[in-house]
Amino acid sequence: MLAYIWAEDEQHHIGIDGHLPWTLPADLAYFKSVTKNHPIIMGRKTFDSFPGFLPKRHHYVLTRSTDFSDEYKDDSRITVVNNVEALVKIIAQEDEDIFIIGGASLFAEFANKVDLLYVTRIKGEFSGDTIMPELPMDTFKLIKKVDGIVDEKNKFPHVFEVYQKKS
């Protein structure tokens, strides 16, 4: 199944200057626990925002850059895909949950094909330059909601929600 995972503030910001607009270790831990041992799909800019490969996850990166493709052609941790049609075929062949993790254009591209949504809603407004595209939420039902714990490391109120596409 195709799943999305992201965090957003009350204004639907998901990024600024290629990074998250907030520091929320609980969300990073949640992301890791949900996506671990599953393939992840991202655009090149999202891939570039990471300090390196995320362990125990195969990386699919959508980019038009042939230089990027050449750079990683012999790396078994990554599959570089140069067009959406090829990515659609990969998703169709996966027999496990596969997660789109960003950026906004990928979220928009597959909005009518996604089956599961994992969203961290952060209470507050942050500066951002990237907005989560609008999804057809009337086609999903909330199946899980857990309040995050606010503490000295996680200063912002937040909630973890999971939605499943209605049958």
Q: What is the pLDDT of residue 66?
A: 83
Q: What is the pLDDT of residue 47?
A: 96
CATH class of residue range 1-38+105-158:
alpha beta
* Residues with pLDDT less than 70, the chain: none
Q: What is the pLDDT of residue 123?
A: 97
**150: exposed, middle or buried (Cβ count in 10 Å: 0-12, 13-18, 19+):** middle
Summarised one tens digit per residue, pLDDT across range 95-105 is: 889 999 999 99
Q: What is the pLDDT of residue 65?
A: 86
Q: What residues does each domain of the chain span?
A: 1-38+105-158, 40-93
Cα dihedral across residues 141, 143, 149, 153: positive or negative: negative
Taking the whole predicted model, whether its pTM rises above 0.85 is answered as yes
